[in-house]
Structure 1
Amino acid sequence: MPGLAVPMNPIADATFVAQRKQLPVNWKQPQGDPATDHYRRAFKTEDHGGVPVPGCYFWAQSTNKFHVDSCKNIGDIIKSFCHDMLKGFKQSVDIWRAQARFQNLRIAAVSVTGAPGCLSGPKLEPMIKVYSRPSAMSHQKHWRDAVAKGLSSCWHDWQQQVTIPGLPLYPAFAAFPGPMAPPIPNVPVPLASCPSVGMAKMTPTALAQAMNSHFSLDDPDNHFGALTQSIGTAVSTAFNAWLPCQMVTGVMGKGPIPTFSPMWAPVGPVIMGDNIPAPGHLAA
């Protein structure tokens, strides 16, 4: 089971740090007389020499120990939240893969076509909430719900536009010796061979916009926007690496051979065939 194999946490961490969000917000170093002297004397000498933590989500506005510590503490909270959401998303996709199925396919000899909507699967939103922070409260619940709704809606938009463009999935159906071809599994193909115009929804920018559209709390320095950009970049990277690795298997195709005649045409192509829409087509 390939799943989302690309490590998303390091990608999200690097993306957030690169946005250089600073704390305290709108703070300026005291200057002039007597502000500079007052600021210097207000703290112990060692408090002016705080050491920033490498990889911290936030950049301190100064080397003041209290600024540095605030960046670390708040950064750790948001980093933990980010990692939990990515973990919940990954686990939700694994469950989605086990339940996803292709339906309403049309088989003509060896080729198969599937219109938009041929790929069906459960919504990710409730699963992301359960597998990330099920007991979140207050503002963290709002953050969690916005991320879950945004990721779920983009995934659903991609899923609903997946098509099968006449792929040769059933070689045996070109000339089958009988009046009716029994259910036969497809030739495995990568999911990347099933295009979707909804791919535009799985870009970092589109994912971030979808998550931001469900956020309504006051956020003057756009910390949530930095978080969604980080999550969106990680999810998009993992998604694009997953598509070529995920195989479509076990799609049981069947159909009639209307030209079959035991004496005159002992073999013939499947015409107007279809498939059995059982779950598990993306489980392998």
Structure 2
Amino acid sequence: MQQFARLKFASFGLKVPVNWQPPQGDDAKHYGDAFKPEEKQTVPGMGVPLLFMAASTNKYHTDSQKMHIGKIGGFIDGMCSAICSAWGQWQSMASMTGVLVNAVTASMGQIVGPPLMPLILASAPKSSPMELKYSNVIATVISNGWMQFTATVKIPGLPMFPAFAAFPGPLAPPIPNVPVPFAALTQVPVSISTNMLKMQMIGQLGDPAAPFHKELFEAISNAFEQCYNLWKASTMVTNILGTGPIPTFAPPYVPVGPVVGGMGNMLPGGFV
């Protein structure tokens, strides 16, 4: 996630000092006389991707650039690490309940999991008041967006329980589902889209003068959305224990029958 966020932030091509322009005319001479020769030509900060560019090779500009690269880069890395850690903890604790089971088919269900906000804030950057403010905003918005998103996730009628097509007994015992990709579930990820997350972060921060907040929020929001797109394709839905009655079971004349009106519940950690 860090690399996604860094690449997005670097794509804005930000220069520091912001809006600096080389002086012209007499001002240019005064500007040139104000610095020692070794201060006029210095090596700017390097890196791939380069989060900030120096407005010139002036020592004070390259020093500012290096400082911004260190601070913003450190915050991006720390925030992304906190989000990924929280996501992993959520995944290990989350489950799915209320799954309807009829014969082989599973449908509906509801994801249940802890809020991400406290999990993110536990390890988010908080070394300065500004970092704490940004971390609070990002953690709150991502947590709310994720909760809204998971509420939309449903099983659209998938053949998860082949053994329940014809079960030889009056009541099928708990049997785990056939794993399916998370991407196969019905879901509406609008609340965790880049634009939605960024807009809510900017609104919640409520500080138009905050340095580089729009670019920072967009970079982290974009990285989160990209990670989600990878996660949904690689994560499997497992360990939904389905059970239910077989009302047509009537041996010896009807020795097997389908589950009707059954239920399924996932054990915590079933998203793997």
1:70 matched to 2:73:
no
Bigger CA drift: 230-239 or 170-179?
Answer: 230-239
What is the match of residue 178 of structure 2?
187
Partner of 1:20: 13
Aligned residues of 1:21 and 1:223 also touching (Cα < 8 A)? no
Question: Per-residue displacement from partner, 1:217-265 (whole Å, max 9, x unpaired)?
Answer: 3526x50111111111211111101111101111100000111101221
Rounded to whole Å, the distance in 2 between the matches of 1:146 and 1:58 is 23
- The more displaced of 224-233 and 48-57 is 48-57
- CA offset at residue 201 of structure 1? 2.4
Q: Secondary structure at the match of 1:114?
A: strand
Shift in Å, 1:213 = 2.5
One-letter code aligned to 1:180: L
Distance 1:270 1:210, change over 3 A: same
Greater mean deviation of Cα atoms: 228-237 or 94-103 = 228-237
**What CA distance in whole angstroms lies between the structure 2 residues aligned with 1:136 and 1:168?**
50
> Secondary structure of 2:122's partner?
helix
Q: Which residue of structure 2 aligns with residue 215 of structure 1?
A: 205
Moved over 3 A (4+): none
Partner of 1:236: 225
Q: 1:267 aligns with which of 252, 256, 260?
A: 256
1:11 to 2:1 alignment: no
Aligned amino acid, residue 182 of structure 1: P
For 2:83, the equivalent position in structure 1 comes to 89
Q: Does 1:38 align with 2:30?
A: yes
Q: Give the superposition deviation at 1:48.
A: 1.2
TM-score w.r.t. structure 2 length?
0.94
Give the Cα separation in 2 of the matches to 1:10 and 1:98: 24
5+ unaligned residues in a row in structure 2: which ranges? none
Indicate whether 1:57 and 2:51 are aligned. Answer: yes
Per-residue Cα deviation, 1:187-206 (whole angstroms, up to 9, x for no partner): 01111111211x12232222
Partner secondary structure for residue 131 of structure 1: coil
Q: Distance in 2 between matches of 1:244 and 1:18?
A: 26
Q: 2:146 aligns with which of 155, 166, 172?
A: 155
8 Å CA contact retained: 2:238, 2:266: no
Q: Aligned pair count?
A: 270
Structure 2 residue matching 1:172: 3-state secondary structure = helix
Give the aligned partner of residue 3 of structure 1: none
Distance 1:69 1:17 in 2: 18
CA distance in 1, matches of 2:249, 2:256: 6
8 Å contact kept, 2:239–2:266: no
1:206 aligned partner: 196
CA distance in 2, matches of 1:48, 1:204: 40
CA apart distance, 1:277 = 4.5
Asked if 2 retains the 8 angstrom alpha-carbon contact of 1:169 and 1:187, the reply is: yes
User: What root-mean-square deviation, in Å, do the aligned CA atoms of Structure 1 and Structure 2 show?
Assistant: 1.5
Deviation at 1:109, TM superposition (A): 0.3
Cα contact 2:166–2:258 (8 A) shared by 1: yes
Q: Describe the shift of the 1:200–1:276 C-alpha distance in structure 2 as closer, same or farther (beyond 3 A).
A: closer
Tell me, yes or no, if the aligned pair for 2:117 and 2:139 is still in contact at 8 Å: yes
Deviation at 1:84, TM superposition (A): 0.5
- Structure 1 gaps of 5+ residues are 1-7
Percent identity reads 36
Q: Deviations over 1:164-219 (max 9, x none)?
A: 0000000000000000000000001111111211x122322222223222212352
